[in-house]
Structure 1
């Protein structure tokens, strides 16, 4: 009988802890702010800079500048 009472108390304690965690934003779906709905799209991250030797446009421009009128490399 004592075992059954302890089990019920343990279950109630776990449920209360889980509810408190989800209300403060710690659980799944909990935001910590009452009434806050789904957020809009995140702002885009700034694009990563590309080093000149990795940029195909830069390489193309260098090749264009180094070509002679007859098309051979200088």
Structure 2
């Protein structure tokens, strides 16, 4: 799994890690990952796509060519 190895990857290349929750207590979606009753509030998918798209756009806007 990538998350468990993230620290090793980040030692070699710049990176960041963030957590996007997918629960919604008002809908009864509260179980944690790796449990048989885990569920996802699918409204979180749009939030995640928007966040990731904005991060990529901001990165590309501010990206500088690597210098040897």
TM-score of the superposed pair, with normalisation by structure 2: 0.32
- Which one has the largest radius of gyration? 1
Q: Which has the higher contact order (CA 8 A, sep 6+)?
A: 2
TM-score of the superposed pair, with normalisation by structure 1: 0.30
